[in-house]
Structure 1
Amino acid sequence: MQTLRIAYATGVTPGKWMDRFKERYPKVELQAWRQDDGEILDLLAEDRADAVFVRYRGESPKDQTRHVIPLYEELEVVCAAKDHEAEYYDESIPAEVVAGFAQLDLADYPEEVGGIGVAMEVVASGAQVLRVPQSIARLFARKDVISRFVQGGTPTQVGIAWPAAMEDTALLEEFIGIVRGRSANSSRQASVRNHEQKAKRVNDKAKFEAKLKSQAAAKRQKELAKKQARSNGGKPGKPGGSKGRKKR
């Protein structure tokens, strides 16, 4: 059975794309998991994933070893405890105001000590605030924690990345096409291109064979005409010998 391995960064929700892929390719095993810890791009370099949904700031992580297609942008929010000063802002807080709050660093909360879930507990205590992409705030939402957009904050980009060197990319191209919104009948889908190319090869072969048959038939007709001419002692279709022969 063919297998496609997909990892995704915390907060990314690729479920709808995976469901569509499974509908189109029910016989392909789709292995998918959320990567909460470590550098997700390392999975590609170590051949532990065929593609990853990566989150990044600034320049694209695309390089000679991997392709990256940007998909969408995430806004930054600040998470704080209820009754924190941040709660008095309706929807957003200026970045300079947020900078004045005691900040929590996610690097201090790796997965082995509980990760983002434990960090949110600290936020709920009122000790510090946490700045994260909106999708992460939604994923780890708590009743005792509020979130507000950061005006002038740093947005993050979510993209899909895959190795530049792969022996077989057909299934991956199908998945990427689904992520980019291509329909099952899109001419840009690998399966559709392969079908069209196969149909073209069949059609070209049929045309070539028909041409050979036509040429063979014309050749046979020409040979028959020459044979008929020789048997008549004259030109094809002119029985009786040379034209203009006088009677004696």
Structure 2
Amino acid sequence: MTGSDASPSAPSPDPSADPPSFRLAYVPGVTPSKWVRIWNERLPDVPLTLHAVTPAEAFGALREGTADAGLVRLPADGDDLSAIPLYTETTVVVVPKDHLFAAVEEVAAEDLADELVLHPLDDTLGWESPPGRPAFERPATTADAVELVAAGVGLLVVPQSLARLHHRKDLTYRTLTGVPQSRVALSWPAADEAPDLVEEFIGIVRGRTVNSTRGRRAEESKGRKEQKPAATGKPAKSGKPGAGSRTSGRPAARKGGGTSGRGAGGSGSARGGRSGKPRRRS
């Protein structure tokens, strides 16, 4: 075989190409550990890297390409990002343990009218008009506001996950009604179709099974099915010939000795016999 007749060999992989990976940004209060565990079980060959970001940094990380997707708090600030809402958090008020509100299970927004309520600059609730009396100066972060509450300077309204994140032994929190709630979403740069790895993570957070019809694993499974050779037909089933089929050899002998007529137990007379009553002898 000459060189011109030889079929071209498959191209070798580019050693300089970066191996696939997935970068996930997440904001404070969001716990992605469950989804990361499922990712590692389903795609052990694709490392997932977590990037902790502030709410103000989250959308910039997606636009700049430093993260492939992000667990963020809505609303998204622009039409260039896609988002899937995942869940809505309960809003709580953080108070000292010896505060009057610590004696009840639930507080209404109207109950804060006479309270000094801190409103940090990284607030995620999107207030039109925060409840209570405003502080002279807004704390820079939620963590700073928690320190002020512990010092007896005002109360703080946050999503429940942030109250847990900044938990202190001298503070507690109670459910607050009649106020906005924070929605957590998965977001990524908008496109006609989400990238394969983003689609994989969407399937995980939405609870799709490993055999879902979407995502990278589904495409690999589809490719394997297309390459599988067609199954051969089953051999004809052997066995006895069916009723009415002709067999080779001599025909079977007829039962009954070859005579026609009814059997001995029949009601009729034998062939050639006289019918009727027997004649009386004189």
Map of 1:136 onto structure 2: 162
Q: Contact conserved, 1:76 with 1:155, CA < 8 A, in 2?
A: yes
CA–CA distance in structure 2, aligned partners of residues 55 and 165 of structure 1: 20
Cα deviation code 1:16-36 (max 9, x no counterpart)? 101111122222221102213
Identity among equivalent positions (%) equals 39
Map of 2:106 onto structure 1: 92
Q: Contact conserved, 1:10 with 1:35, CA < 8 A, in 2?
A: yes
Map of 2:42 onto structure 1: 24
1:169 to 184, 195, 208: 195
1:34 equivalent to 2:52? Answer: yes
1:32-181 map, 5 Å: 32-36=50-54, 38-56=56-74, 60-61=75-76, 64-88=79-103, 90-107=104-121, 108-110=138-140, 115-165=141-191, 169-181=195-207
Q: Quote how far apart the aligned CAs of 1:62 are.
A: 7.7
Structure 1 gap ranges (5+): 211-248
Cα deviation code 1:38-70 (max 9, x no counterpart)? 2411111111111011112xxx53854111000
Q: Quote how far apart the aligned CAs of 1:147 are.
A: 0.4
Q: Quote how far apart the aligned CAs of 1:155 are.
A: 1.2
Q: Quote how far apart the aligned CAs of 1:192 are.
A: 1.2
TM-score, structure 1 normalization: 0.72
Map of 2:25 onto structure 1: 7
* SS in structure 2 of the partner of residue 126 of structure 1: coil
Q: Quote how far apart the aligned CAs of 1:194 are.
A: 4.3
Structure label with greater radius of gyration: 2
Q: Contact conserved, 1:82 with 1:124, CA < 8 A, in 2?
A: no
Q: Contact conserved, 2:59 with 2:77, CA < 8 A, in 1?
A: no
CA–CA distance in structure 1, aligned partners of residues 108 and 187 of structure 2: 33
* SS in structure 1 of the partner of residue 56 of structure 2: coil
TM-score, structure 2 normalization: 0.64
Structure 2 gap ranges (5+): 1-18, 122-137, 233-282
* SS in structure 1 of the partner of residue 185 of structure 2: strand
Q: Contact conserved, 2:196 with 2:215, CA < 8 A, in 1?
A: no
CA–CA distance in structure 2, aligned partners of residues 62 and 35 of structure 1: 16
CA–CA distance in structure 2, aligned partners of residues 132 and 155 of structure 1: 9
Q: Quote how far apart the aligned CAs of 1:119 are.
A: 2.0
Q: Contact conserved, 2:27 with 2:71, CA < 8 A, in 1?
A: yes
Q: Contact conserved, 2:200 with 2:214, CA < 8 A, in 1?
A: no
CA–CA distance in structure 2, aligned partners of residues 167 and 121 of structure 1: 45
* SS in structure 1 of the partner of residue 211 of structure 2: coil
CA–CA distance in structure 1, aligned partners of residues 190 and 72 of structure 2: 16
* SS in structure 2 of the partner of residue 40 of structure 1: helix
Q: Quote how far apart the aligned CAs of 1:117 are.
A: 2.8
CA–CA distance in structure 1, aligned partners of residues 209 and 77 of structure 2: 26
The amino acid that maps onto 2:196 is: A
* SS in structure 1 of the partner of residue 30 of structure 2: coil
Say how many residue pairs are matched: 197
CA–CA distance in structure 1, aligned partners of residues 186 and 44 of structure 2: 22
The amino acid that maps onto 1:191 is: R
* SS in structure 1 of the partner of residue 208 of structure 2: coil
The amino acid that maps onto 1:128 is: G
